[in-house]
Amino acid sequence: MSNKVPRSQPSLRSTFAERAEAAAHAAAAGERRRRRLAIAVGSALATVVLVGAITFVVLRSRGDEAVAPSAEAVALGCSSCHTTDGQRSEGPTWKGLAGSTVTLADGSTVVADDAYLRRAITDPAADVVTGYTASMPTIEVTDAQLAALVAFIDSLR
């Protein structure tokens, strides 16, 4: 026989207490992981929403919306070939035309001032814009109609 004190078996109470403590620790660790994941997902979602909102505001502020053609442009048939939103059509767009430098079919350039706009409306074959044909019909316009068309094109700068 030995003088060693025999090792006692742990009690059921201490065994269950250890298991309960281990389970509580594991549950707390799992809860921390879930909380971190929820924060990460929430942050990512908030970032996506914020970027989307900023993009929406920036695109809306660009002014790419079409402006309704003037009454003269509709009455004279101009709006069937010329756009007011920058999109290409049968004729050059009027958006941003006034005051810009235009390259003509012969390679020369001209500033689209009021005199150029009047000439382009009354004698369309005189200065044909590069990329377009001289297909615009010559139309009879009154001085008032001509002034209104030029003013409308100027307003689309």
Q: How many domains does the chain have?
A: 2
Check whether residue 46 and residue 79 sit in a common domain.
Answer: no
Predicted local confidence at residue 62, as pLDDT: 53
In a domain, 1, yes or no: no
SS3 101: strand
Check whether residue 45 and residue 95 sit in a common domain.
Answer: no
- From 82, 94, 110, select the one nearest 150 (Cα to Cα): 94
pLDDT tops 90 at residue 36: yes
CATH code, 92: 1.10.760.10
In a domain, 5, yes or no: no
Q: Are 122 and 135 in contact (CB under 8 A)?
A: no
Q: 129 vs 126, 135, 148, CA distance in Å?
A: 10, 11, 22
Q: Summarize the confidence of residues 24-37 as an average pLDDT.
A: 92
In a domain, 2, yes or no: no
Distance CA 21, CA 15 (A): 10
Distance CA 10, CA 15 (A): 7
Check whether residue 88 and residue 34 sit in a common domain.
Answer: no
pLDDT tops 70 at residue 114: yes
Q: Which domain holds residue 35?
A: 10-62
In a domain, 46, yes or no: yes
Q: Summarize the confidence of residues 15-19 as an average pLDDT.
A: 88
Check whether residue 24 and residue 84 sit in a common domain.
Answer: no
Check whether residue 83 and residue 146 sit in a common domain.
Answer: yes
What predicted TM-score, i.e. pTM, was given to this entire model?
Answer: 0.56
In a domain, 4, yes or no: no
Torsion angles phi and psi, residue 137, rounded to 5: -75, 150
pLDDT tops 60 at residue 154: yes
Check whether residue 77 and residue 144 sit in a common domain.
Answer: yes
Greater confidence (21 vs 8) lies with: 21
